[in-house]
């Protein structure tokens, strides 16, 4: 058997790491009593990143979940992953101290340990910082968001203190990376990452998943019992994102706001627009965001002669992104048929629906789940530019239908995707029944 350079080391390290994590968990069996008297409805929320240091779907969701928990009556203390934001070179703002306040929400930071060491070492060292914060605030539970690097220290801290641990699984970083680098799926690092995700999921007292498809993945691949899982999908505050009058939209405009990565499928959209132009249908696209695929997409747009139709607006403030989307008649999220795209939905989908925007999305399982049985938009075959062009042409052929679907989009969000419908499960006392099964 032959290994690529370094792969033998990573294979050996994987075995040691997984064994070490399991051994550590055995040192902290679930205690019958906590180390202190917890404050009811209090929790320590541990995200991997936050505003204003990173502006992304992850940090937008983090902020929204914390606000919703607080509005639901929870006493929420926030501690970002130890080491953050100092150990992230890609931060867009400089840290000013151990606390950052954003819209009234206080994010606490610990500069050490930095996430520049072995995952096992980091988990042990960071758990001490998290345990100290939890004990100081006498929280009733520790709730950590993806990924396992962020969650493992929180799990160890909860076990040490004898309080419940929640894992909010928002996706699987390994599947995302494999969508960009096909070779990664055959590496020990890929396998180790998923094994550590499984370890956290199995040991969480409650597992909150971003989609039913991700819940199915955890059940089928890791044996997580469905009664221990609950759905915590992407939602909105309906008072923060208001419906937009269809008359404000520019005719035949398509909007996209988010990361510009290969798996997002924006090349499929540009190719579809070029096909429509050849048929005499003028469609314009506004793309908001940045990412590793941007330069290649700009080259594609130029090569296909679409520079006058496809506009790259770069990274903007979230409020400005919403303003740009308001001027678009439709929002398109043309993700490719990678596994990660089949189980993890983008937050920009529910935001578009809340704005009363019809959507065009790929016919992938997670999008079917997210849009329900009476979808406010159109599906196309993922990765198929011809089929996408047909969907766009159909959408723009009937302006009255666009308005009708926009109203339906808003109604769907109000009925099924507001934070208030889901966050109560997070603060439900553990002495009662388990988290609601992942079937909402």
The total of other beta-carbon atoms located within 10 Å of residue 193's CB is 23
* Mean pLDDT computed over 347-363: 98
* Distance, CA of 72 to CA of 251 (rounded, Å): 40
* Mean pLDDT computed over 283-290: 97
- Please indicate whether residue 31 or residue 321 has the higher confidence score (pLDDT): 321
The confidence score (pLDDT) of residue 167 equals 99
At residue 39 the predicted structure's pLDDT band, cuts being 50, 70 and 90, is very high
The confidence score (pLDDT) of residue 140 equals 96
* Mean pLDDT computed over 180-191: 94
What's the per-residue H, E or C state across 290-329? CCCCHHHHHHHHHHCCCCCCEEEEECCCHHHHHHHHHCEE
Cβ neighbours of residue 177 closer than 8 Å, sequence gap 6 or more? 184, 190
Please state whether beta strands 105-108 and 75-79 pair in parallel, antiparallel, or not at all (unpaired): parallel
* Distance, CA of 45 to CA of 187 (rounded, Å): 32
* Mean pLDDT computed over 292-308: 97
Indicate the length of the chain as a whole number: 440
pLDDT of 433 strictly over 50: no
3-state secondary structure of 91: coil
Gyration radius of the chain over CA positions: 22
pLDDT averaged over the chain?
Answer: 93
**How far does CA 416 lie from the centroid of its chain?**
18
Cβ neighbours of residue 310 closer than 8 Å, sequence gap 6 or more? 270, 273, 284, 285, 287, 301
Q: Which helix (H) or strand (E) holds 106?
A: strand 105-108
Cβ neighbours of residue 431 closer than 8 Å, sequence gap 6 or more? none
- Average the pLDDT over each of 40-54, 199-213, 306-320 and give the range with the smallest value: 306-320
At residue 30 the predicted structure's pLDDT band, cuts being 50, 70 and 90, is confident
Query: Domain ranges in the chain?
Result: 30-235+419-427, 246-416
Q: Which CATH class is domain 246-416?
A: alpha beta
* Mean pLDDT computed over 117-128: 96
Domain 30-235+419-427: CATH architecture, name and number where available: 3-Layer(aba) Sandwich (3.40)
* Distance, CA of 218 to CA of 222 (rounded, Å): 5
pLDDT of 27 strictly over 90: no
Dihedral (CA of 81, 83, 87, 92) sign: positive
- Average the pLDDT over each of 22-26, 200-204, 312-316, 396-400 and give the range with the smallest value: 22-26
* Distance, CA of 150 to CA of 168 (rounded, Å): 11
* Mean pLDDT computed over 119-126: 96
Q: Which residues pair with 169 in a beta bridge?
A: 209
Residues of the chain with pLDDT > 90: what percent? 87
pLDDT of 429 strictly over 90: no
Shared fold status for 30-235+419-427 and 246-416? yes
pLDDT of 1 strictly over 90: no
Residues of the chain with pLDDT > 70: what percent? 95
* Distance, CA of 127 to CA of 111 (rounded, Å): 14
**Dihedrals phi, psi of 72, to nearest 5 degrees:** -85, 0
Instruction: Give Dmax over CA atoms of the chain in angstroms.
Output: 71
The confidence score (pLDDT) of residue 368 equals 96
Q: What is the DSSP letter of 184?
A: G
Nearest in space to 84 (alpha carbons), one of 106, 113, 57? 113
Nearest in space to 157 (alpha carbons), one of 138, 192, 133, 137? 133
Q: Which helix (H) or strand (E) holds 146?
A: none
Cis peptide before 163 (omega within 30 of 0): no
Give per-residue pLDDT as tens, 67-98.
999 999 999 999 999 999 999 999 999 998 99
pLDDT of 4 strictly over 60: no
User: The pTM is what?
Assistant: 0.93
Please state whether beta strands 310-314 and 105-108 pair in parallel, antiparallel, or not at all (unpaired): unpaired
- Please indicate whether residue 211 or residue 434 has the higher confidence score (pLDDT): 211
The confidence score (pLDDT) of residue 434 equals 35
- Average the pLDDT over each of 16-20, 275-279, 371-375 and give the range with the smallest value: 16-20
């Amino acid at each position: 058997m032959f290994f690529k350079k370094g792969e033998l080391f990573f294979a050996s390290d994987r075995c040691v790491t997984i064994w070490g994590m399991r051994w550590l968990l055995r040192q902290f069996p679930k205690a019958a009593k906590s180390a202190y008297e917890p404050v009811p409805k209090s929790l320590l929320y541990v995200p991997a990143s936050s505003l204003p240091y990173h502006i992304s779907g992850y940090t937008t969701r983090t902020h929204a979940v914390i606000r919703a928990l607080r509005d639901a009556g929870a006493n929420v203390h926030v501690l970002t992953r130890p080491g953050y934001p100092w150990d992230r070179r890609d931060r867009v703002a400089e840290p000013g101290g151990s606390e950052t306040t954003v819209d009234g929400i206080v994010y606490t930071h610990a500069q050490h340990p930095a996430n520049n060491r072995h995952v096992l070492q980091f988990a042990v060292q960071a758990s001490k910082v998290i345990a100290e914060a939890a004990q100081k605030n006498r929280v009733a539970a520790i709730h950590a968001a993806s990924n396992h690097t962020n969650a493992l220290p929180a799990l160890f801290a909860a076990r040490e203190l004898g309080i419940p641990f929640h894992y909010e699984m928002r996706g699987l970083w390994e599947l995302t990376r494999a969508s960009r680098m096909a070779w990664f799926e055959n590496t020990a690092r890929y396998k180790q990452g998923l094994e550590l995700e499984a370890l956290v999921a199995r040991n969480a007292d409650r597992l909150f998943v971003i989609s039913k498809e991700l819940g199915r993945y955890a059940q089928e691949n890791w044996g997580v019992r469905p009664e221990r899982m609950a759905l915590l999908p992407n939602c909105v505050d309906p008072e923060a994102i208001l419906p937009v009058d269809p008359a404000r939209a520019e005719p035949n405009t398509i909007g996209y706001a988010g990361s510009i990565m290969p798996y997002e499928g924006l090349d499929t959209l540009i190719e579809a627009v070029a096909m429509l132009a050849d048929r005499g249908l003028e469609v314009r696209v506004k793309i908001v965001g940045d990412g590793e695929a941007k330069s290649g997409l700009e080259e594609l747009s130029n090569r296909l002669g679409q520079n006058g139709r496809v506009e790259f607006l770069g990274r903007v403030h979230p409020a400005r992104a919403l303003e740009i989307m308001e001027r678009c008649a439709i929002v398109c999220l043309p993700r490719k048929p990678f596994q990660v795209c089949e189980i993890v939905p983008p937050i920009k989908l529910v935001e578009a629906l809340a704005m009363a925007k019809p959507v065009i999305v790929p016919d992938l399982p997670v999008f079917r789940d997210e849009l329900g049985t009476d979808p406010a938009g159109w599906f196309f075959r993922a990765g198929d530019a011809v089929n996408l062009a047909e969907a766009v042409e159909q959408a723009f052929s009937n302006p009255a239908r666009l308005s009708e679907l926009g109203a339906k989009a808003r109604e769907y969000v109000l009925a099924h995707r507001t934070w208030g419908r889901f966050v109560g499960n997070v603060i439900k006392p553990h002495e009662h029944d388990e988290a609601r099964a992942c079937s909402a």
